[in-house]
Amino acid sequence: MKIIGTMFVILTLLGLAGCAATAPPSELVFARAAYQHVSTGQAQQLVPAEVRKAQQALALAEASFKEEPKSFMTRDLAYIAGRKAHLAEALAVTAAGNAATAAAKISLEATQAEIAKTAQVNLAASEQLNKEKSDQLAIEQTARREADVRAAAAQADLVKLAGAREDARGLVLTLSGSVLFASNRSELLPAARERLNQVTTALLATKDRRLTVEGFTDSQGSAEHNMDLSQRRADAVRSYIVSRGYASNLVMASGMGETRPVADNASSEGRANNRRVEIIVDRPVVQR
């Protein structure tokens, strides 16, 4: 009758588990049923210490299920709790003389071996996980250091190539319009491609940072024409940078026309300085 009663409790708990939002694993369902049976039977009086061990093991399994319901650790802890409950029941039977001494000893040894085996497996898994985490952290730290070195070298190259300067927006590279384009044109000159090759090679070392390409003209001609020309020139430089491997979604182009002159448009030298393309490299995001 005890066996029938135990099976009824187990089947009832399995049915309830199927309706829960997060169903407990079968090991936990059986552990709950096994503890319910042993805690209400003769074991509570005969071997209370073993019942407490089963209760503590079940509490650990329940806590693990609450935190990580689908983990192997939950299943292992539940399995151990079930085995402890069965062990308590076996010891109670032995103490009451309801089972042969030899059978109880075999059951006890088997249960202890299972518990020891599971504990060894869990320990090995925990050590392996800690090692993998440590190795991954070392790899990430090395990668960050290497990226910092490449970025610093790239910035030094950009300063040499394009007279880069820092402002509130980031690193600003200035390329003369006369080097990049023929008068009143937006097609890149052959010499411009060679220059942009050097600049883009350095930029690729910082390819996780956003770029803004801004085109500028002098004040000669209508403002509308200058705005259109500066936009086409900015687009041409952007397209070339993207064609060299920079992510297109990280590069924007804007035509600024004759706005923001850096020199007086009254002289030819001043107008030449104002005809330019600027590439702004955003400041890197600080990793926390």
Considering Cα of 181, then 185, then 189, then 192, what sign does the dihedral take? positive
What is the rounded distance in angstroms from the CA atom of residue 127 to the CA atom of residue 133?
A: 10
Indicate if the pLDDT at residue 155 is higher than 60: no
Among 85, 93, 15, 89, residue whose Cα is nearest residue 56: 85
Q: What is the pLDDT of residues 234-270, one digit of tens each?
A: 999 999 999 999 999 999 999 999 999 999 999 999 9
Structure tokens at 102: 């030899």
Of the pLDDT bands very low, low, confident and very high (cuts 50, 70, 90), residue 196 is very high
Tell me: do 78 and 162 sit in the same domain.
Answer: no
Which 8-state DSSP code applies to residue 168?
T
Residues 170 and 54 in one domain: no
CB atoms within 10 A of CB 149: 11
Mark residue 218 as left, alpha or beta (left: phi above 0; alpha: psi -120 to 50; beta: remaining). beta
pLDDT of residue 117: 86
Residue located via tokens 């009758």: 1
In the listed set 30, 65, 99, which residue is the last one of a domain according to the structure?
99
Asked whether residue 165 falls in the same domain as residue 275, the answer is yes
The verdict on residue 208 lying in a domain is: yes
Copy the structure tokens of residue 173.
């590279």
Asked whether residue 130 is assigned to any structural domain, the reply reads no
Question: How far is Cα 98 from Cα 78, in angstroms, rounded to an integer?
Answer: 27
| Residues in a beta bridge with 174 | 278
- Tell me whether residue 145 is in a domain: no
Query: What integer pLDDT is reported at residue 224 of this predicted model?
Result: 96
CB atoms within 10 A of CB 268: 9
Going by C-beta distance under 8 Å and a sequence separation of 6 or more, which residues neighbour residue 185?
Answer: none
- Helix residue spans in 163-176 (DSSP H): none
DSSP E strand boundaries for 57-192: 165-167, 170-176
Instruction: Decide which of 20 and 186 is more confident.
Output: 186
Phi, psi of 275 (to 5 degrees): -80, 100
Instruction: Please give the tally of structural domains in the chain.
Output: 2
168 and 90 in a single domain? The answer is no
Co-location of 238 and 162 in the same domain: yes
Q: Is residue 91 in some structural domain?
A: yes
93 shares a domain with 7? yes
CA distances from 177 to 11, 108, 186, 227, 275 (A): 82, 88, 10, 14, 5
Residue 288 reports pLDDT greater than 50: no
Q: Do both 95 and 158 map to the same domain?
A: no
Can you state the angle between helices 101-162 and 190-203, rounded to 10 degrees? 150
**Counting runs of H as helices and runs of E as strands, what totals does the chain give?**
10, 5
In a domain, 59, yes or no: yes
**Same domain for 167 and 88:** no
Ordered alpha helix ranges (H), the chain: 2-19, 26-39, 43-46, 48-67, 72-96, 101-162, 177-180, 190-203, 223-243, 268-274
Query: For 48-57, 92-101, 106-115, 209-218, which range has the lowest pLDDT when averaged over its residues?
Result: 92-101
Q: Under a CB-based contact definition with an 8 Å cutoff, are residues 75 and 121 in contact?
A: no
Residue 165 pLDDT exceeds 90: no
Residue 161 reports pLDDT greater than 50: yes
30/140: higher pLDDT: 30
Assess if residue 107 is contained within a domain.
no
My answer on whether 169 and 265 are in the same domain is: yes
For position 253, what pLDDT does the model report? 98
Question: Is the same domain home to 82 and 176?
Answer: no
Cα 68 from Cα 92, distance rounded (Å): 33
Is residue 228 situated within a structural domain? yes
In a domain, 141, yes or no: no
Report the predicted TM-score, pTM, of the whole model to 2 decimal places: 0.48
Percent of the chain with pLDDT over 70: 81
Instruction: Calculate what percentage of the chain has a pLDDT beyond 90.
Output: 42
Q: Clarify whether residues 263 and 158 are in a common domain.
A: yes
Out of 82, 99, 116, pick the residue that ends a domain: 99
Q: What is the separation of C-alpha 249 from the centre of its chain, rounded to a whole number of angstroms?
A: 21
Structural domain harbouring 72: 2-99
19: pLDDT strictly greater than 50: no
pLDDT tens digits for range 73-129 = 989 998 998 898 899 889 989 988 865 666 667 888 888 888 888 888 888 888 888
Same domain, 67 and 181: no
pLDDT, mean over the chain: 83
Boundary residue ending a domain (69, 99, 129): 99
State the CATH number of the domain containing residue 225: 3.30.1330.60
